[in-house]
Amino acid sequence: MLEGILQGLTTAVSPMNLMMVVAGCFVGTFIGMLPGLGPISAIALMIPITYGLEPSTGLILMAGVYYGAIFGGSTSSILINAPGVAGTVATAFDGYPMAKKGQAGKALAIAAYSSFSGGTIATILLLVAAPSLAAVSLSFQSTDYFALMVLGLTAVAAFAGKGNVVKAILMTVLGLMISTIGTDQTQGIQRFTMGIPDLIDGISFLLLAMAAFALSEALLVVLRPKSDADRKKEMEAQSNLGSLKLTREEVKEMVPVIARSSVLGFFVGVLPGAGATIASFLAYGMEQRIAGEEKGKLFGTGSIRGLTAPETANNAACSGSFVPLLTLGIPGSGTTAIMLGALISYGIQPGPRLYIDNPTVFWSVIISMYIGNVVLLVLNLPLIPYIAKILSIPSTILTPMILFFSLIGVYFVSFNTFDIHLMVMFAVAAVGLRMLDFPLAPMLLGYILGGMMEENLRRALLINDDSWSFIYDRPLTLVILLIAAATLVMPYVMSKISIWFLSRVEKNEVK
Amino acid sequence: MNKSIRNFLAASVAASAMIFAPAVSAETVKEIHFLIPGGPGGGWDGTARGTGEALNKAGLVGSVSFENMSGGGGGKAIAHLIETADKAKTTLMVNSTPIVIRSLQKVFPQSFRDLTPVAGTIGDYAAIVVNKDSDLADFKSLVTRYKADTKSVAIGGGSVAGGMDHLVAAMVMQAAGAEPTKVKYIPYDAGGKAMAGLLSGEINALSTGFGEAIELAKQGEIRILCVTSKARLDAAPDAPTCAEQGADVEFVNWRGFFAAPGISDEKKAEYVTALKAMYDTPEWEVVRARNGWVNIFNADADFVAFLENQEKVLSKLMKELGFL
């Protein structure tokens, strides 16, 4: 194995391959930055170029585009609230509020550091354990995925903290309801499609996120013209827009979050049925709980932890998703499915024997991912001050551009004009909801987790002949569900205990 | 022009296409606009772009262009092709077995009859596979266990209930003399996830495409119980056909091309000639090998007859299963 790693290292640092890492990262970052355009479009664009290349070179290029796009996606999330990729939707939750407060440069820097750390830690995990991690990929069955989604849904509490619990729950339910639109897998019948054929395949997550965030934000800018005082305040805030400076305390706050989120993100990425989006939501919810009551309340208003967690987790998950792809030949997402196709076209079949039969390809890709993370950091940090300046573009120019790119981005995924109409309708609804102070993030959470929760639950019930016994028969399912229950109940119980304890102490003091 | 002369001309055009492959003079069709009923990166997309690339590079078609139009399980593109039929004489739409299934399910109101079927070009057989550790030795033991207790065999697939993978599972069970309606079918939202489900041990068998299964079978991760081809396939001589195992079925998931309704017979013949000539070009071999496709050429009247037969078989089965 060591020999293979060394072989991979020599391949990865060859001038051609280094060039490909840089090129891939650059193209990926650029495409990812455009709202709505994600790694799938980016990789699909690169495929014809890779045909003439050596297998490892082609794969290195594609991997570079992949994590470059995830990296770049965070930029549009933070600056204009328009996630470029589904995996960076959670990044907008705290990144955009920070940018609004005039800390765009700082937010971008945090995102860059988090992505780098998440990607690097995950790559090291890959390097150490990739072949043996195949077992982890296969350890999760539908029942466990169901439990994982339930655990994810408890993250809704993260959004309830800052405002109205009832409103957050209502919006989660709305998201769950939207997720039922489309063809029902287990019966093969259409639900809530109202006879419209365009709804048969359901509503895409990216469309919903772009409508709820980017489009509604742009519309709100038009609907709520800024007063002169506001504008002045904004100008002041923008004067140090590009500043990347982080204080020592802020770094101290980030480190443990990065450590936890990268490991969590990596393992969620390893599961073929989950992926970067789920990983970012789970990390966000988990960190909000861990942050405690005081810091947890800051989530959604520009919390450093709230930005660090999903950004670390989504990059770690991207690296993690290479485990099922390379060691089992199973694609966990649309992007890795395209990469699988490209691998096969080179005559390389990913699978348990890949790292024995083709050690050079296997290890050089993993090592190039490490190099790619460094490249991304080096490439992006110096650019941040300039990229952040996007926000100082007058809104009369910026708003139409956001509208244009958001609509084009969603159209380029499906090439269906209906999606544009639908997006505008959702955006108008989202504006109404935002004016009434309903949080939109829980809706997205409900949509993505709810859809997968239902799918996995129904599959589990089918397999178990409609018996719910799997909840206590499968230890993994049971453990995850217990953690979910604990996450919900613990804060309540803890506060009761501490109140009780405090009152005892007070009584003693009185005595 | 009578038929034999046209055939002769077509053949000579095809022959000259082989001889002067890169020369512009061999051009059979001036331009083809490929309409792809799905987004970039899917199976339809790959088929259309690969075919277009080969036709163009081999000099059989002067210029090719592509247009993605997803929605309604492919229905959007079909409706569009019919609506713009007058202007879309140079358009070829790619499609596959689901056009038959979804039209039967009334996902969209049209069927292949509303278009001009040109040719089926490539195909993939279906396969029933199990995990390498499975205690099911062969397809017969799967059937035996299923007959004893239908609930003891969970068969997964990468399409919705009533979709292609489900129909294949029901079809082989029926051919093996078992009850097709009782198949415990477990749907996954993609073939890859279904394969992960099989490897995780939550389902007993998987109904999938032969092309998706062969490499993992070669690596010893899964075993192919049977393939829905007439004879054993060269790619996997050890994998028995379902017919050998007592289930006399043949099923091929084809991919092919359709033109707008009402195009002239001459135009149709041009397309058929170009596609037919394509198989002998090295350019096509590159594309085909790259994607691991199997050449199955089925043109014009043969293609229509094939589609009619597939529709008949599937509709009977779907009625029995209660999906129609």
Query: Does A344 sit within 8 Å of B67, measured CB to CB?
Result: no
Contact residues on chain B for A138, CB-CB shorter than 8 A: 196, 199-201
Residue A38's pLDDT band, with cuts at 50, 70 and 90, is confident
Reported ipTM: 0.83
Alpha-carbon gap: B9 to the closest alpha carbon of chain A (Å): 35
Whether the pLDDT of residue A187 is over 70: the answer is yes
Whether the pLDDT of residue A418 is over 70: the answer is yes
Percent of chain B residues past pLDDT 70, beyond the cut: 92
Tokens at A469, concatenated = 């016994």
Q: Going by C-beta distance under 8 Å and a sequence separation of 6 or more, which residues neighbour residue A292?
A: none
Q: Which pLDDT score, from 0 to 100, does residue A162 have?
A: 54
Nearest to A416 among B76, B160, B192 (CB): B76
B125-227 and B3-123+254-320 share a CATH fold: yes
Q: Which pLDDT score, from 0 to 100, does residue A155 have?
A: 75
Q: Which pLDDT score, from 0 to 100, does residue A160 have?
A: 63
The DSSP H or E segment spanning B80 is: helix B75-83
Alpha-carbon gap: B289 to the closest alpha carbon of chain A (Å): 7
Whether the pLDDT of residue A228 is over 80: the answer is no
Q: What is the pTM of this model?
A: 0.85
* Residue range A257-261: mean pLDDT, rounded: 94
Query: Does A462 sit within 8 Å of B186, measured CB to CB?
Result: yes
Query: Does B187 sit within 8 Å of A341, measured CB to CB?
Result: no
Query: Does A201 sit within 8 Å of B200, measured CB to CB?
Result: no
- pLDDT greater at residue A157 or residue A174: A174
Q: Going by C-beta distance under 8 Å and a sequence separation of 6 or more, which residues neighbour residue A257?
A: A287, A305, A308, A309, A312
Q: Which pLDDT score, from 0 to 100, does residue B17 have?
A: 41
Q: Which pLDDT score, from 0 to 100, does residue A139 have?
A: 86
Contact residues on chain A for B161, CB-CB shorter than 8 A: 185-188
Asked if A59 and A45 count as a contact pair (C-beta separation under 8 A), the reply is no
CA angle (B242, B243, B247) in 5-degree steps: 75
Nearest to A188 among B39, B220, B323 (CB): B323
pLDDT digits (tens, 9 = 90+) for B280-295: 999 999 888 877 788 9
Tokens at A75, concatenated = 């930029």
CATH no. of B125-227: 3.40.190.10
Whether the pLDDT of residue A477 is over 90: the answer is yes
Q: Which pLDDT score, from 0 to 100, does residue B271 have?
A: 94
Q: What does pLDDT average to over chain A?
A: 85
Total residues belonging to chain A: 511
Query: Does A184 sit within 8 Å of B41, measured CB to CB?
Result: no
Class of residue B297 by CB neighbours under 10 A (exposed 0-12, middle 13-18, buried 19+): middle
Whether the pLDDT of residue B12 is over 70: the answer is no
Please provide residue B59's backbone torsions phi and psi, each rounded to the nearest 5 degrees: 80, 15
Asked if A254 and A113 count as a contact pair (C-beta separation under 8 A), the reply is yes
pLDDT digits (tens, 9 = 90+) for A121-159: 999 998 888 778 888 888 889 999 999 999 888 877 666
Alpha-carbon dihedral of residues A378, A382, A384, A385, nearest 10 degrees? 170
| Neighbouring C-beta atoms of residue A26, cutoff 10 Å | 18
DSSP for A110-131 reads: HHHHHHHHHHHHHHHHHHHHHH
| Neighbouring C-beta atoms of residue A500, cutoff 10 Å | 10
Q: Which pLDDT score, from 0 to 100, does residue A236 have?
A: 66
Listed residue (A110, A99, A56, A143) closest to A474, CA to CA: A143
Instruction: Tell me which amino acid residue A1 is.
Output: M
Alpha-carbon dihedral of residues A316, A320, A326, A330, nearest 10 degrees? -130
**Could you tell me whether strands B154-157 and B205-209 are parallel, antiparallel, or unpaired per DSSP bridges?**
parallel
Helix axes B300-321, B164-175, angle to 10 degrees: 80
* Residue range B117-142: mean pLDDT, rounded: 93
Q: What does pLDDT average to over chain B?
A: 87
Q: CA A336, CA A245: separation in Å to the nearest integer?
A: 36
pLDDT digits (tens, 9 = 90+) for B45-99: 889 988 998 999 999 998 888 888 887 788 889 999 999 999 889 999 999 999 9
Contact residues on chain B for A186, CB-CB shorter than 8 A: 160-161, 187
Contact residues on chain B for A414, CB-CB shorter than 8 A: 39, 68, 70-71
Asked if A270 and A136 count as a contact pair (C-beta separation under 8 A), the reply is yes
- pLDDT greater at residue A79 or residue A294: A79
**Could you tell me whether strands B205-209 and B184-187 are parallel, antiparallel, or unpaired per DSSP bridges?**
unpaired
Q: Which pLDDT score, from 0 to 100, does residue A229 have?
A: 67
Query: Does A352 sit within 8 Å of B292, measured CB to CB?
Result: no
Q: Which pLDDT score, from 0 to 100, does residue B279 have?
A: 93
Nearest to B219 among A272, A273, A349 (CB): A349
Q: Which pLDDT score, from 0 to 100, does residue A290 have?
A: 83
Whether the pLDDT of residue A431 is over 70: the answer is yes
Query: Does A414 sit within 8 Å of B71, measured CB to CB?
Result: yes
Domain ranges of chain B: 3-123+254-320, 125-227
Alpha-carbon gap: B285 to the closest alpha carbon of chain A (Å): 12
Whether the pLDDT of residue A74 is over 70: the answer is yes
- pLDDT greater at residue A366 or residue B278: B278
Nearest to B215 among A200, A329, A341 (CB): A329
Nearest Cα residue in chain B from A456: B188
Q: Which pLDDT score, from 0 to 100, does residue B25 have?
A: 44
Q: Does B43 touch chain A (CB under 8 A)?
A: no
Asked if A134 and A323 count as a contact pair (C-beta separation under 8 A), the reply is yes
Cα A284 to chain centroid distance, Å, stands at 10
Q: Where are the beta strands (DSSP E) in A118-219?
A: 182-183, 190-191
Asked if A122 and A266 count as a contact pair (C-beta separation under 8 A), the reply is yes
Total residues belonging to chain B: 324
Contact residues on chain A for B74, CB-CB shorter than 8 A: none
Q: Which pLDDT score, from 0 to 100, does residue B41 have?
A: 67
Asked if A274 and A145 count as a contact pair (C-beta separation under 8 A), the reply is yes
Query: Does A351 sit within 8 Å of B215, measured CB to CB?
Result: yes
Distances (CA, A) of B303 to A159, B4, B96, B298, B300: 57, 20, 12, 5, 5
* Residue range B236-255: mean pLDDT, rounded: 92
Place of tokens 């043996």: A132
Nearest to B160 among A137, A188, A462 (CB): A188
User: What are the respective helix, strand and coil percentages of chain B, to the nearest 5?
Assistant: 45, 20, 30
Residue A348's pLDDT band, with cuts at 50, 70 and 90, is confident
Percent of chain A residues past pLDDT 70, beyond the cut: 94
Nearest Cα residue in chain A from B204: A463
Q: Does B162 touch chain A (CB under 8 A)?
A: yes
Helix axes A441-463, A142-153, angle to 10 degrees: 160
A-proximal residues of B, 174-203, CB under 8 Å: 184, 186-190, 192-193, 195-197, 199-203
Whether the pLDDT of residue A52 is over 80: the answer is no
Q: Right CATH number for B3-123+254-320 from 1.10.287.3510, 3.30.70.890, 3.40.190.150, 3.40.50.10800? A: 3.40.190.150
Tokens at B163, concatenated = 């979709």
Residue A301's pLDDT band, with cuts at 50, 70 and 90, is confident
Exposure string of A463-483, with b = 16+ CB inside 10 Å and e = fewer, is bbeeeeebeeebeebbebbeb
Alpha-carbon gap: B219 to the closest alpha carbon of chain A (Å): 7
Q: Which pLDDT score, from 0 to 100, does residue A177 have?
A: 93
The DSSP H or E segment spanning A248 is: helix A248-270
Residue B10's pLDDT band, with cuts at 50, 70 and 90, is very low
* Residue range A175-195: mean pLDDT, rounded: 87
Alpha-carbon gap: B202 to the closest alpha carbon of chain A (Å): 6
Whether the pLDDT of residue B3 is over 70: the answer is no
Whether the pLDDT of residue A35 is over 70: the answer is yes
CA angle (A189, A193, A196) in 5-degree steps: 115
Please provide residue B68's backbone torsions phi and psi, each rounded to the nearest 5 degrees: -90, 140
Q: Which pLDDT score, from 0 to 100, does residue A445 have?
A: 87
- pLDDT greater at residue A280 or residue A41: A280
Query: Does A463 sit within 8 Å of B151, measured CB to CB?
Result: no
Terminal Cα distance for chain A, rounded: 70
Nearest Cα residue in chain B from A138: B200
Chain A and chain B share a number of CB contacts under 8 A equal to 138
B241 DSSP 8-state letter: B
Whether the pLDDT of residue B267 is over 90: the answer is yes
Tokens at A260, concatenated = 């936890």
Q: Which pLDDT score, from 0 to 100, does residue A163 have?
A: 61
Residue A422's pLDDT band, with cuts at 50, 70 and 90, is very high
Contact residues on chain A for B40, CB-CB shorter than 8 A: 40-41, 44, 415
